[in-house]
């Protein structure tokens, strides 16, 4: 095996370790179920591995490139299903022990889930890329095929809508 191929494999391994959890959370948000999210996440990494030589650093970060591949794989799955996936909340925080804190956290999560569900699918996706994926505006722009300025504006508008929905009277 050539040294450059080994270096490429090691680099891909590092990308996997860095992104696997966030990528799964993003895909899980789009698809709405664990089994499909696991399958699509694995498919995205498989596609990225096969296409690793096509990565162009001039077009963005490896993380943004990977999230773009995952987005396309998730959209393929949604098209296959021919239905929209609901956004699901975060897993419970097991480090909290006080019942009052847990109740408050449950109320806040419920409020955010309801507000997220009320957003348009494109806005939910932007929130997922930003907060589940942890992507920068430049990485979101690369994943969506738009300008960084446009991505930043769209994320800002989506987060503003989310905040307004969270603070709206019940």
Whose tokens are 């370790």? That residue is 17
Q: Which residues of 74-105 are buried (b: 16+ CB within 10 A; e: fewer)?
A: beebbeeeeeebebbeeeeeeeeeeeeeeeee
Taken in order 13, 15, 17, 21, the sign of the CA dihedral is negative
Range of the domain at 140: 3-167
What is the model's pLDDT at position 1?
Answer: 38
For the chain, give the DSSP string. Answer: --HHHHHHHHHHHHHHHHHHHHHHHHHHHHH-SHHHHHHHHHHHHHHHHHTGGG--GGG--HHHHHHHHHHHHHHHHHHHHTSPPPP--PPP-TT---HHHHHHHHHHHHHHHHHHHHS-HHHHHHHIIIIIS---HHHHHHHHTS-HHHHHHHHHHHHHHHHHHHHS--
Q: What is the pLDDT along the chain (170 residues), one digit of tens a residue?
A: 344 556 667 788 888 999 999 999 889 888 888 899 999 999 999 999 999 888 888 888 899 899 999 999 988 888 887 644 455 555 555 554 566 677 777 788 778 888 888 888 888 888 888 888 888 899 898 888 889 999 999 999 998 998 888 887 65
Check if the beta carbon of residue 73 is closer than 8 Å to that of residue 67: no
Q: What are the phi and psi torsion angles at 133 (to 5°)?
A: -80, -25
**CA Rg, the chain, in Å?**
18
Total of domains in the chain = 1
Check if the beta carbon of residue 124 is closer than 8 Å to that of residue 116: yes
What is the model's pLDDT at position 92?
Answer: 53
User: CATH code at 30?
Assistant: 1.10.10.10
What is the model's pLDDT at position 98?
Answer: 60
Whole-structure pTM value: 0.61
CA 117 to CA 96: how far, in whole Å?
Answer: 26
């Amino acid at each position: 095996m050539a040294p450059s191929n080994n270096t490429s494999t090691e680099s891909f391994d590092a990308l996997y370790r860095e992104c696997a959890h966030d990528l799964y959370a993003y895909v899980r948000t789009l698809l709405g179920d664990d089994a499909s999210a696991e399958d699509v996440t694995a498919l995205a990494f498989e596609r990225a591995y096969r296409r690793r030589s096509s990565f162009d650093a001039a077009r963005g970060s490896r993380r943004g490139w990977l999230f773009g591949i995952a987005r396309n794989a998730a959209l393929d799955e949604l098209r296959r299903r021919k239905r929209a996936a609901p956004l699901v909340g975060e897993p419970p925080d097991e480090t909290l022990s006080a019942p009052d804190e847990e109740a408050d956290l449950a109320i806040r999560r419920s409020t955010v889930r309801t507000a997220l569900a009320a957003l348009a699918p494109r806005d939910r996706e932007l929130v997922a890329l930003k907060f589940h994926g942890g992507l920068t505006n430049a990485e979101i722009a690369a994943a969506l095929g738009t300008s960084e300025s446009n991505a930043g504006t769209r994320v800002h508008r989506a987060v503003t809508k989310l905040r307004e929905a969270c603070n709206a009277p019940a």
